[in-house]
Amino acid sequence: MNTKAKLQLRIMLLSLRKSGFRSLLALGAVGLGIASMMVMLALSTGARLELEAITDRIGRNLFMIAASQVLSQPGRGGGWYASTRLDLADVKLMNEQIHGIRTIVPILEGNLQTKFNREDLVTSVRGVTPNFPEVRNFELEDGRFLDEQDSLARSRVAVVGSFVAKRLNDGFSMVGETLWIVGFPFQVVGQLKEKGNTDGQNEDDQVLVPLETARRRLFNVDYLSRLLVQVEDQGQMSEVQREAREVLRSRHALDRDVKDDFDILSLLRANQIRNMNSAFLEGLSQLFAAVTLAIGGAGVLAVTYLNVKDRTSEIGLRMAIGARRRDIASLFVAEACLLSVLGGLSGVLVGGVGIVVLKRATGWQMAVDLRGVAIPLLVSALLGVGFGVFPAIKASKVTPVDALRDA
């Protein structure tokens, strides 16, 4: 930094120091606005990262078609029961008629008693096809996944979740052991890595068996519990869901006034609620940031304007010894920018502390990236330029004679 720049910086700092309390108020208002913006960006980044993490655990571009509750027909008893219309023919028809579907995973499931040695556990037993682990992003801890030959042969083989292994075998691998499911022996050929909870469901509390084995040897039914549908692109989701509804209603021969006997569901319902809450908080943060930034900008405007009034004699003296109008204007714009940037730096510090405190106190997912620091600092600099221009122009229009006479 050359001597002239150092001198200019010293003059600006002395000017802000001379302004005293009013500069401090303006700096604090800018800082609050910048801190609010930083918290808002941290909420937005945290929500995006959380959504990506949950999507990676669940599987990308997925929705579910589940058998819904329907009212029993006259003569078949009263009340509601789960529809039994969803089957493999539906899967075939959807694959043939709906563009944009990458794969469909049929599932037949129920809560059944499992036993190993002297331990027993009621867990979710799912009959699935070999592509289920890939679609749902499950990884192996030990052994292998189910394959096509297992389903064709209706083999009594199983892949267990880590929670099942923990409860039945103290967490040790069960690969090679015999697991009894409602009295039928199944050889454990694989064990899944721990995945945790997703949308309130324990992903590790399950046993996977071949679909045909489940249909013929465990449940002895032809229908399915649900379908997992993976689309090629997220943008096609709504259109594929609409077409799936039309295809299934047509195949199930449902009249126009009859409700669906299936439900089309998102796998991220709880996360959508979290996103709505996050959006609400983000909206409040944006409003607070806008208000405080406006107040901070008004403070910068007021401080710069009053500085111009207080330093009329200095302006006249500068112009009398050769300072140009643009030199005077640039000096006061630079002072306004310096005030705003100092407020921005204080706001970044306050915002960083606020993010840490909020994250620990509420458990919200919040993250700060380069954008979350650079944008607030850029906004603070622009604030100084925007609100410092008018007083600077006014200062540049002062004539030396008038300035020195008024002084």
Letter for the amino acid at 228?
A: L
Q: How many CB atoms lie within 10 A of CB 390?
A: 15
Question: Which pLDDT does position 26 carry in this prediction?
Answer: 75
pLDDT band at 270 (very low <50, low <70, confident <90, very high): very low
Which residues contact residue 23 at a Cβ distance below 8 angstroms, ignoring those fewer than 6 apart?
Answer: 16, 17, 303, 339
Q: What is the mean pLDDT of residues 355-382?
A: 77
- Residue 53 pLDDT > 70: no
- pLDDT of the residue at 255: 86
pLDDT-based confidence at residue 165 (cuts at 50, 70, 90): very high
pLDDT of residue 319: 73
CA 100 to chain centre: 25
Residues above pLDDT 90, as percent of the chain: 33
| DSSP strand pairing (201-202 vs 69-71) | unpaired
For 301-315, the pLDDT digits (tens) are 777 777 777 666 776
Q: 225 pLDDT band (50/70/90 cuts)?
A: very high
Question: φ and ψ at 230, to 5 degrees?
Answer: -110, 125
What pLDDT was estimated at residue 180?
96
- Which pLDDT score, from 0 to 100, does residue 268 have? 58
Average pLDDT of span 54-77: 71
* pLDDT recorded at residue 147: 93
Q: What angle do CA 299, 303, 309 make, to 5 degrees?
A: 145
Of 273 and 93, the one with more pLDDT = 93
Average pLDDT on 57-69 reads 80
Across 30-53, average pLDDT:
76
pLDDT at 189 > cutoff 90:
yes
What does the pLDDT look like over 228-266, one tens digit per residue? 999 988 888 889 999 999 999 999 988 888 888 888 887
Mean pLDDT of all residues belonging to the chain: 80
Comparing C-alpha atoms, which of 3, 6, 26, 52 is closest to residue 384? 26
More confident residue, 137 or 394: 137
Residue 281 has pLDDT above 90, yes or no: no
pLDDT at 229: 93
Residue 27: pLDDT band with limits 50, 70, 90 = confident
pLDDT tens digits, one per residue of 369-390: 777 677 777 877 777 777 777 7
Task: Assess whether pLDDT exceeds 90 at residue 76.
Answer: no
Q: Judge whether residue 150 has pLDDT over 50.
A: yes
pLDDT > 70? residue 71: no
